[in-house]
Amino acid sequence: MTLRTPPLRQLPGDSVVHQLWAGTKLLIVLVLGLMTWVLPTWPSLAFVAVFVLVFALLAGIPLGALPRPPWWFWGLIALGAGITALSSGIDGVLIFMRGTALGLIVLAMSILVVWTTPMAEIAPAIARLLAPLKLLRMPVEEWAVCIALSLRGLPLLMEEMRLLRASYRLRPSSRAGSGHPSAEMTLIDMVVAAMSSAMRRAAEMGEAITARGGTGRLTAYPSRPGRADWIALGLTVLACGGAIALTILL
């Protein structure tokens, strides 16, 4: 899958979607995901797809930022549909395609949140949404800190994987059985190198956090939902109710 923009990075913009609170976007994704999980019908999937498309248009996502899956991705989907057709018939193919569409739509919703939300705002929003769990003595702040550190480190890990893949492709190759180290370079070696790089970066991040005296606060400027957030949530709930009613009537 190729991207014109680095993954897990916010796209620049000042649209209505960009200005929404991060927790509002997470709640919208949760509501839409629950609706498609409980009611995975074609009308509900079409509604969520249209919802995601409208949000993408409001956010001003450029066409160049859209991912372009490679040919083998579509080949695997076609192969899965063919195997399902041989074993379960047309009904099985429809169920398989519906499950594939559900996965792609959920992935599109998640990517849209990432593209319109700064990574630094997601962890504080999760901490605020999970605040009621503090009454049960749940370590909500610790969870939020772990999420924040993971979100900060994941783009670095992906960049390391890109560099490893590029260096692997540039290495001179030898024939199998020649005894040269380049002939024995496999995917396992790349995974081991990526793991060692991730562990090294994690150790460096831990030392930096310790030197600064701990994790500190999640954010220096706490944000709260505004009027636009409540309007967006209300419209989402009303639209989901309409989609459920349409599915039941059809």
Interatomic CA distance for residues 7 and 68, integer angstroms: 13
Cα–Cα separations (whole angstroms), residue 97 to 82, 128, 250: 11, 37, 20
- The pLDDT value recorded for residue 240 is 84
Domain spans of the chain, in order of start: 1-117+224-250, 138-219
Q: Provide mean pLDDT across the span 145-164.
A: 75
Q: Is residue 26 within 8 Å of 113, Cβ to Cβ?
A: yes
**Rg from Cα positions in the chain:** 22
Cα–Cα separations (whole angstroms), residue 20 to 7, 134, 226: 21, 25, 8
Q: Provide mean pLDDT across the span 168-177.
A: 63
- The pLDDT value recorded for residue 72 is 86
Interatomic CA distance for residues 106 and 221, integer angstroms: 30
- The pLDDT value recorded for residue 187 is 65
**pTM score, whole prediction:** 0.74
The listed range with the strongest mean pLDDT (119-128, 148-157, 198-207) is 119-128
Summarised one tens digit per residue, pLDDT across range 59-85 is 888 877 777 888 888 898 899 888 888
Q: How confident is the model at residue 180 (pLDDT cuts 50, 70, 90)?
A: low
Interatomic CA distance for residues 130 and 250, integer angstroms: 37
Tokens of 22: 């991060």
Q: Is the pLDDT of residue 22 over 80?
A: yes
